[in-house]
A and B are shown apart, each in its own frame.
Chain A
């Protein structure tokens, strides 16, 4: 658990972050979103002491981190930055081994862990293990960056606009990887982005930061249905807010149980926007729904998308 208590961060009179209080629960994905210069990266860097607060306290698992040596603290957390930030003079394996080496693991344990992580990030271990970063594609570099952050099995993963420089397809792939890794490891993720779709797709909760202040903290659904300020509403976007609302809700929540409809069933796990898309492409106003295993659950009607 990460707790920020009345945290303020100033540089030479300029206030980068003003009186922020928030708690990140264990195992959640908290997305910090805001325009550039809003202070969202500053907030992230306060958690691993790349920056220290001017006032207020930051606690990790109840312990004030001002009392922990920065190097020790950082080795307990993963950190991923835009473009990967890989060491260009080290091989992929050596990059991933950075924190384990700092922690003094023995060689065999490091080698085994590197292999495990290459597999986890779906990187070809035999081909890429001894490659240098400049030989990799942008997406591969970012996968190595994530693997490096996860190397010592941290319970907290900090990500600073990690996929900002990637093309949309690669970005979507990596977002899916993050969701999968989050499910597999159960680690707490604090994720900085300026892309609302990325935030809505990943977040357990979203914190909207504007000019150094926390303006709203809530689930994606809360943000979409009850934006706290005009700025938040503006940030969410006015023209496609309805589609975003559909994107953050599951078919399973709106299904009419027991009702049968002919046709290829859709999974209850897919989003309402995917269901809408299927209805439009099939020219049908209702779809059969099954559970992820394939057992029939019921039917969803076009009218159900409008809400209860």
Chain B
């Protein structure tokens, strides 16, 4: 435990001591001047510094008194320290804004981000030891969520950007989720039957896998590009189809999703013992009953773990599809990149990460649940 925690604490301290805590610029297009953490702490209300110290104290308590209770308070301490650090940044930002022009922006600097990342690593390590699953994350994020709800963090440039982009952000988030779900649905409808067929007929398997593997090796931007031509041509005959926009994006996402779905369907079905299948038929189950009650059921956990890979991959690839005008959070990221507005990039990237983590988590839980429901044997 100490072997992990002490170097991480050292990194957190170095991040605060050596890297800029904030960056202050006269407007959102300039890159801004670094502001060290001691200056930032000095600008903010001392109350937050007290909270920050308290949080850090709780965080390191298990080093001296290991136990379930101190681990829980350690998680809460990490949450308090994170929230207090953000509040200090916001406080300082408000102070600087009052002194300068209203267009001035203060954003969190590399020191603050590294500090946050280190604390999250420490917290996730502690949460794992508690073996309470997701519940361990609640005390970590609750203080931050509270400050967000109270508006304490509003002066930070990221949130000012969010305030400006509020409607566009919501629309992009919705589009992103729709792209992912719109791709997973057809990919399942095509991939699962294809996997079932490939498992049954070796000839199909020999053809399908090289093709799907080949698709997987095409870089996403290249695949989007390759689809523009044929789809634009198709669009001349079928209204609604075009070389750019949602249709080619979903098509590409479906193509990428097929490999993990087909592969895991085949693997799952391959894993059903021969004797079990023979027994099912010999007991007098019909082919449909054998498939549904035995083959498909036993293959389900493997299929679900394939879906996890597929979903996480689709969340990431959907961001790239903004390049061909499919919208989504990628649009915000690219808008920020082209305008050199880092806050906008972060505003687009954070929810992509959150979506990927959420998808990973949901399918992990589903996989674990399905394994448990099958008696823990598969």
| Residue A88 lies at the interface, judged by CB distance under 8 Å to chain B | yes
A-B contact pairs, 20 of them (CB 8 A): A50-B278, A71-B286, A72-B284, A74-B283, A75-B284, A79-B283, A81-B275, A85-B275, A87-B276, A88-B276, A88-B377, A89-B374, A89-B377, A98-B283, A99-B284, A102-B284, A102-B289, A134-B376, A134-B377, A158-B282
In the complex, chain B residues whose CB is within 8 Å of the CB of A235: none
In the complex, chain A residues whose CB is within 8 Å of the CB of B275: 81-85
A91 to chain B, nearest CB (A): 7
- With A75-B284, A79-B283, A102-B283 already in contact, the answer to whether A85 and B278 are too (CB < 8 A) is yes
> A99 touching B283 by the CB < 8 A rule?
yes
| Residue A40 lies at the interface, judged by CB distance under 8 Å to chain B | no
- With A81-B275, A86-B276, A87-B276 already in contact, the answer to whether A74 and B375 are too (CB < 8 A) is no
Among A71, A85, A134, find the residue whose CB has the most chain B CB atoms closer than 10 A: A85
B328 to chain A, nearest CB (A): 39
| Residue A3 lies at the interface, judged by CB distance under 8 Å to chain B | no
Q: B289's closest neighbor in chain A, by CB?
A: A102
| Residue A9 lies at the interface, judged by CB distance under 8 Å to chain B | no
Cα–Cα distance between A73 and B285 once the two chains are bound (Å): 11
Cα–Cα distance between A148 and B279 once the two chains are bound (Å): 10
Cα–Cα distance between A85 and B279 once the two chains are bound (Å): 6
| Residue B122 lies at the interface, judged by CB distance under 8 Å to chain A | no
> A81 touching B283 by the CB < 8 A rule?
no
- With A81-B278, A85-B278 already in contact, the answer to whether A132 and B375 are too (CB < 8 A) is yes
B181 to chain A, nearest CB (A): 29
Among A50, A71, A134, find the residue whose CB has the most chain B CB atoms closer than 10 A: A71
| Residue A105 lies at the interface, judged by CB distance under 8 Å to chain B | no
Interface size in chain A (residues, C-beta < 8 A)? 28
Among A75, A88, A148, find the residue whose CB has the most chain B CB atoms closer than 10 A: A88
| Residue B378 lies at the interface, judged by CB distance under 8 Å to chain A | yes
Task: Identify the 6 closest CB pairs spanning chains A and B, nearest first.
Answer: A85-B279, A75-B284, A132-B375, A74-B284, A79-B282, A89-B374
| Residue A188 lies at the interface, judged by CB distance under 8 Å to chain B | no
Among B273, B278, B282, B289, find the residue whose CB has the most chain A CB atoms closer than 10 A: B282
Q: B294's closest neighbor in chain A, by CB?
A: A87
- With A71-B286, A74-B284, A99-B284 already in contact, the answer to whether A86 and B279 are too (CB < 8 A) is yes
In the complex, chain A residues whose CB is within 8 Å of the CB of B279: 79, 81, 85-87
Which residues of B (350-378) have their CB < 8 Å from a CB of A? 374-378
Contact of A89 among B283, B289, B375 (CB under 8 A): B375
In the complex, chain A residues whose CB is within 8 Å of the CB of B298: 88-89
In the complex, chain A residues whose CB is within 8 Å of the CB of B297: 89
Contact of A90 among B278, B289, B375 (CB under 8 A): B375
In the complex, chain B residues whose CB is within 8 Å of the CB of A91: 375
| Residue B255 lies at the interface, judged by CB distance under 8 Å to chain A | no
In the complex, chain B residues whose CB is within 8 Å of the CB of A139: none
| Residue A133 lies at the interface, judged by CB distance under 8 Å to chain B | yes
A105 to chain B, nearest CB (A): 13
Cα–Cα distance between A70 and B281 once the two chains are bound (Å): 9
Cα–Cα distance between A73 and B284 once the two chains are bound (Å): 7
Cα–Cα distance between A50 and B280 once the two chains are bound (Å): 11
In the complex, chain A residues whose CB is within 8 Å of the CB of B284: 70-75, 99, 102
In the complex, chain A residues whose CB is within 8 Å of the CB of B280: 87
In the complex, chain B residues whose CB is within 8 Å of the CB of A85: 273, 275-276, 278-279, 282
Cα–Cα distance between A83 and B275 once the two chains are bound (Å): 8
- With A50-B278, A81-B275 already in contact, the answer to whether A88 and B378 are too (CB < 8 A) is yes
* Known interface pairs A85-B278, A133-B377; 20 further A-B residue pairs with C-beta atoms within 8 A, sorted by A's residue number: A48-B282, A50-B278, A50-B281, A70-B284, A73-B284, A74-B282, A74-B284, A79-B283, A81-B282, A85-B275, A85-B279, A87-B276, A87-B294, A88-B276, A88-B375, A89-B375, A98-B285, A102-B285, A102-B289, A134-B377
User: What sequence of 0s and 1s flags, for each residue 250-293 of chain B, a beta carbon within 8 Å of any chain A beta carbon?
Assistant: 00000000000000000000000101101111111110010000
Cα–Cα distance between A72 and B286 once the two chains are bound (Å): 10
B280 to chain A, nearest CB (A): 7
B372 to chain A, nearest CB (A): 11
B286 to chain A, nearest CB (A): 5
In the complex, chain B residues whose CB is within 8 Å of the CB of A50: 278, 281-282
In the complex, chain B residues whose CB is within 8 Å of the CB of A73: 284
In the complex, chain B residues whose CB is within 8 Å of the CB of A148: 283
A190 to chain B, nearest CB (A): 13
